[in-house]
Structures are given as C-alpha cells and as structure tokens.
Amino acid sequence: MKKPIGIFDSGIGGLTVVKQLMHLLPNEQLIYFGDTARIPYGTKSKRLIERYAVEDAKFLLQYDIKALVVACNTASSLAMDVLLNSLDVPVIGVVIPGAEAAVKLTCNNKIGVIGTIATINSKSYTLQIQKRLSEAQVFGQACPLLVPLVEEGWLDDEVTILTLKKYLPEMIKEQVDTLILGCTHYPLLEKTIQKIMGDHVRLIDSGKETAKAVKQVLIENNLINRSDKPGPDKFFVSDIPMKFEEIGSRFLGKTLDNVERVDFERFLVKLEPGRMNNLRSNIEV
Amino acid sequence: MKKPIGIFDSGIGGLTVVKQLMHLLPNEQLIYFGDTARIPYGTKSKRLIERYAVEDAKFLLQYDIKALVVACNTASSLAMDVLLNSLDVPVIGVVIPGAEAAVKLTCNNKIGVIGTIATINSKSYTLQIQKRLSEAQVFGQACPLLVPLVEEGWLDDEVTILTLKKYLPEMIKEQVDTLILGCTHYPLLEKTIQKIMGDHVRLIDSGKETAKAVKQVLIENNLINRSDKPGPDKFFVSDIPMKFEEIGSRFLGKTLDNVERVDFERFLVKLEPGRMNNLRSNIEV
C-alpha cells in the first residue's frame, strides 16, 4: 500500500526513530511532525499531553496515513489510550516495543528505565514489562537534565558524565542487567551511559525496537509498500527555533533539510471535558 | 487606582519578580499568568515568542489591569515592540531596568549578560546598555542548562558548579565587573554564580530592578493604589505539571497555593502575517 506512515514527536528527538524506519523500511514514505512550538512534553501534565497528542495526530491524518507512529516516550506513556480509541489506522508507540525487548534480553529479571518525569511517573514501562514477565523488578529514574544536555551537544562532556553518575547509582546498586533508554534523545548518550553502567548491562534503544514493530504491524495488516517509494519523506514542525538544523541533523544522522513550519493553529482541537476519548468527533468539527 | 497589575512569564520563574513586587508594593493586587503549557520560550523563534506574548497579554487584559509586567527575559527581549504598540496600559519589561542598573554600577564599562539562547541572540541587553553608555563592552553568554538545573533543584550542586565553569570563563577573562542575571530563574543561583565570578563582580537581579521600575511607572502615571489592597493576588497557569507547587514555592519564597489552571484555548488569537503589531484588532475579533 502506497499511503505514507505518519510519525510525531514533541520535537525532533523522534528523528532517531525516523532514522531507524528509513533503514528498515526504505520504500515507505514518511511524514514527520515535530511539535517544536510546545516542546518539551515530559515536564507537563497527563491532561495536556493527551491534548497535544490528539492535535499532532490530527495534523498527520490530513496526509491519509496508513499507520501512526508515536515516536515520543512521553506521549506513548500517557496518551496511547486516547489515540488507540479514536483512530482507524494502527497506532504504534515506543513503550511496548521497548518493554518487549527488555523482557527478552534480561537474565536476572532486573530492568531499569530512564526517561522524562512524566514517562517515569506514569509507570508505563513497569506495567508493560510486568504484563509480560510478572516476576520482573523494574527500577525507574526520571532524568530531566538529559534532554537539555543532548540539545546543548554535550554528549560525552564531564558535566553529562557527572549528571549520569547522580541519576544512575540505584540502577547500578540494584544490578539491573538491562536498561531501557526511555526517551528519544537518549540514544545519543548511549556510549556515555554504557561506560557508566558497564559492558555487562544491555541498553535498549526504544526507537530501534519500534522500527522493527512498525515493520511487523505493516506486514500483519498487509500495509507494506511493495513497489517503489511513492514520494519523498516530509518533515513538518510547529516552530523553527535556533540551532534547529544543527540539532536535527545530529538526531537524523544526516543533513536535515526541506523542513516546513506549519501554523499549528489550524489543527488545534476543541476538547470538552470527558470527550478526550473521542478524537473523531473533534476532527469532524 | 485600585485596578490590579498584570504579570506574565513563560512559566513560574516570573514569581521571583512577583516576590519583589509584593515586597515593594504591598498594597497592589497582582494577577499572575504563567504559560506552563508552552514553557520554555527561550529555545523558540522570535515569531513564536511574539505570538505567545500577545496571547498571554490578552489573557491578563480580561482583568482590567492598569499596567503589564513582562516578567520574562525572553519575551522582554523579543516581544516588547508588539506589546508596546498595541496596549493602552504601561508595559514594563525586565530588560531595560536590568540594563539601567548595570550602567549605573559598572566602573570599567565591561558588562556581562547571561540568559536563554533567544535572549542572548536578540542582543536586547547590549542594545539597551549601549544606548545609555556607548563605550560599554557587553559580553553575552547563552546558558540553556541553567533553567533545567534550577527546576531540578540542584542550586549549589557540583553539576551546577561545573556547568557554570563552562559557561562563565569568557566573562572572567574579559574582567566584567557587572553581570546581569538575564533570566528569572537565575536569582536562585546567585550565591553559586557569585562564588565563581568572585566577590568583586556585582550581580544584577533583573527582577528586583523591574519591581523598582514598576513602582516608578505607577507613581509617574498616578496609578498607585493609596488605599488598602483591593483583593487577593491571583495566580493562573496554563498547565499544572509535576512538582509544580514545590518549584513554585521555591521561586516565590513562600507557599504557593490557590493556583488556577486555565484553558488557554480561550485566549489564543488568530494572527495573520503582518498583523502582529496590532494586538487590539486581535482582541476584538
């Protein structure tokens, strides 16, 4: 099927997922939306994250997408229900693929998760891991400074190492053998985190796992594109801030160009209390 | 005059200005709006910051305010023109009071400014300082990690010290004798910054200077309230995120309660290109 895949993130961190999708599904057309006008989501409330996720999905639905990838750990942790209940296309978040990979890899059933405040407080990974491996012990740690450190480009800087040494001691003490990088920014810190955790700990890049899950879902639903790529990938953002191209290229692993800024006003939805679970009626308004 | 004073910030950092206003103008009623749903402003574009500032002002105008305080360095650096051109009430930002204080205090005419990426790139402080003291040399440094460090509560932590030691060397090398804390979050780091810069360097808290400027403007325009405080201060935010009260109380210096979350949808404005300078027509729509 020639229709594109839609992907959204709170900003440009989701480009780490796009990079994996490009690699694994080179014939699929990708439409990316990064909500850079309202980034970050990870410090905000569930109510607000749900609203933003609905609006992001609404924007992508314009492009007649065949599947929606929620390439944001915070939105995947807090807004999957509202998206799954409202959309006709398959919706794939990053949490379940990450949790499944951790369950497969752990030997001692001790799994760590690092992420934003909202992701960790939601206990989304704990829930998905224990659903699959009830005896698993899951240790969550919110690491709010890692996103700004990555955006500053201090990937293996002494400040970053010291910050990680303050966030990770519980993981080390509890001897987790598997650590989920529960934020799309964190794969850029993979080497530094590996050094601190030690080589015996397996790091899971949720983005990489998600790309595999997307491929599987497309195959199962007979949605995969078996002919040439139908058109170029498209990148939309709600703001083009300072250093945007520099940071974006760092995430994508190649030059990020042809990015279009959209006025998000046109896809803001009016949500009445109690109607959060009905995206369709909002889209029709 | 019994009307209230309106104050807005991108989040709750502006409470450091509120604290100074409460101290200096105890009889004035204050209406505060913190745009926590869209924080931070400092990493975003001028176009977007202008839009957000207009929307924040629109929200406060509902309360028939007699003056507007832009308690956000980023909005004061990038959106003062659009606000000044559109409002009938006096508008006081934090940049001019901070710049004036620096010009008065410097002996060697070497002034440093630290702030968000947007504030520093705008060169707003440089412009206002050199307008008043043409021979001044101004050294700006964007410090994007300081806001998340303050919000994490790591005020005199070794990570914060190390981060400041990476941001401040140029200021030290150039021997600035005056340093403007050009972000409402930074007064919480005052002691740590003073330690690194040395006791001979004078730090300027723009918030404190702004409170003095507000008093002056009220006196000059015969707007000061000469009777009892007309009503309790009010605090509105566009989102109530995790750790909100803890962080808010840290800024205000006392318990932050009676905060109301507002649906900002109702004060979003439709801005057509080229009409950014006409807030009034947007408010009337």
The tens digit of pLDDT for each residue in A51-86 reads 999 999 989 999 999 999 999 999 999 999 999 988
Residues B110 and B193 in one domain: yes
On whether the CB atoms of residues A33 and A7 are closer than 8 A, the answer is yes
Could you give the number of structural domains in chain B? 2
Query: Pick the catalytic residue: A72, A136, A150, A189?
Result: A72
List A138, A183, A189, A213, catalytic entry: A183
Residue A10 sits in the same domain as residue A64? yes
Residue A149 and residue A50 share a domain: no
Of the three residues A171, A186, A206, the one that is the final residue of a domain is A206
Active site residue B143: no
Is A165 in CB contact (< 8 Å) with chain B? no
Residues A87 and A128 in one domain: no
Answer yes or no: do B162 and A158 touch at CB < 8 A. yes
Cα separation, B85 vs B81, whole angstroms: 6
Please indicate whether residue B72 is annotated as part of the active site.
Answer: yes
Q: Which two tokens stand for residue A265?
A: 């006003």
Q: How far apart are the first and last CA of chain B?
A: 29
Q: In a mutagenesis test of the B interface, which of A10, A43, A151 is the best target, namely the one with the most B β-carbons within 10 Å?
A: A43
Check if A48 contacts B (Cβ < 8 Å). Answer: yes
Whether residue B158 and residue A162 make contact (CB cut-off 8 A), yes or no, is yes
Quick one: which H or E segment has residue A62?
Answer: none
> CB of A91 within 8 A of CB of A66?
no
Distance from CA of A159 to the nearest CA of B (A): 6
Residues A89 and A217 in one domain: yes
Secondary structure of chain B as H, E, C letters: CCCCEEEEECCCCCHHHHHHHHHHCCCCCEEEEECCCCCCCCCCCHHHHHHHHHHHHHHHHCCCCCEEEECCHHHHHHCHHHHHHHCCCCEEECHHHHHHHHHHHCCCCEEEEEECHHHHHHCHHHHHHHHHCCCCEEEEEECCCHHHHHHHCCCCCHHHHHHHHHHCHHHHHCCCCEEEEECCCHHHHHHHHHHHHCCCCEEEEHHHHHHHHHHHHHHHCCCCCCCCCCCCCEEEECCCCCCHHHHHHHHHCCCCCCEEECCHHHHCCCCCCCCCCCHHHHHHC
Q: Chain-centre distance of CA A29, in angstroms?
A: 19
A250 reaches B (C-beta below 8 A)? no
pLDDT band for position A129 (50/70/90)? very high
Residue A132 host element (H or E): helix A124-132
- The rounded mean pLDDT for chain A is 91
- Phi, psi values for residue B226, rounded to 5°: -100, 0
B144 to A151: CB separation less than 8 angstroms, yes or no: yes
Of the residues A143, A171, A206, which one is the last residue of a structural domain? Answer: A206
Is A45's CB within 8 Å of B241's CB? yes
- Which residue range is the domain that position B151 belongs to? 95-206
**B187 and B103, same structural domain?**
yes
Q: What is the pLDDT, as a whole number, of residue B248?
A: 84
**Interface pTM (ipTM) of the complex?**
0.88
Look at residue A255 in the predicted model and tell me its pLDDT: 86
Do B100 and B181 share a domain, yes or no?
Answer: yes
Residues B199 and B259 occupy one common structural domain: no
Mutate to test the interface with A, among B78, B149, B151, B159 (most CBs of A within 10 A): B159
Please tell me if residue B239 touches chain A, with a CB cutoff of 8 Å.
yes
B102, B9: one domain: no
Minimal Cα distance from B265: which residue of A? Answer: A270
Min Cα distance A120 → chain B (Å) is: 11
A120 CB within 8 Å of a chain B CB:
no
How crowded is the C-beta side of A100, counted as CA atoms within 13 Å?
11
> Which residues on chain A are in Cβ contact (under 8 Å) with B145?
145, 148-149, 152, 159
Last residue of a domain, one of A164, A182, A206: A206
How are beta strands B137-142 and B178-182 bridged, if at all? unpaired
Question: How many CA atoms lie within 13 Å of A44's alpha carbon, on the beta-carbon side?
Answer: 28
| Nearest-CB residue to A149 (from B37, B39, B145) | B145
Beta carbons of B241 and A43 less than 8 Å apart: yes
Q: Coil, strand or helix: which one is A64? A: coil
B118 to A242: CB separation less than 8 angstroms, yes or no: yes
Q: Which token pair is B196?
A: 């690194």
Query: How does DSSP classify residue A283?
Result: H
CATH number reported for the structural domain that contains residue A245 in this entry: 3.40.50.1860
Place of tokens 């400027």: B213
Record the tokens describing residue A104, joined without a space.
């497969």
Q: Which residue carries 């990690």 as its tokens?
A: B145
Query: B67: which strand partners?
Result: B5
Please check whether residue A37 touches B, CB under 8 A: yes
Residues A48 and A179 in one domain: no
* pLDDT tens, residue order, chain B (285 aa): 899 999 999 998 899 899 999 999 999 999 999 999 999 999 899 989 999 999 999 899 999 999 999 999 999 999 999 999 889 999 999 999 999 999 999 999 999 999 999 999 999 999 999 999 999 999 999 999 999 999 899 999 999 999 999 999 999 999 999 999 999 999 999 999 999 999 999 999 988 999 999 999 999 999 999 999 999 999 999 998 767 777 888 888 888 877 888 876 666 655 444 443 444 555 443
Q: Are residues B131 and B56 in the same domain?
A: no
**Contact across the interface for A37 and B43, Cβ inside 8 Å:** no
Distances (CA, A) of B90 to A151, B95, B217, B223, B279: 37, 15, 8, 10, 15
| Rounded distance between C-alpha atoms, residue A74 and residue A142, angstroms | 12
Question: Is there a contact between B46 and B78 (Cβ–Cβ < 8 Å)?
Answer: yes
At B203, give phi and psi (nearest 5°): -95, 135
Q: Peptide bond before A169: cis, by omega within 30 degrees of 0?
A: no
Same domain, yes or no: A109 and A171: yes
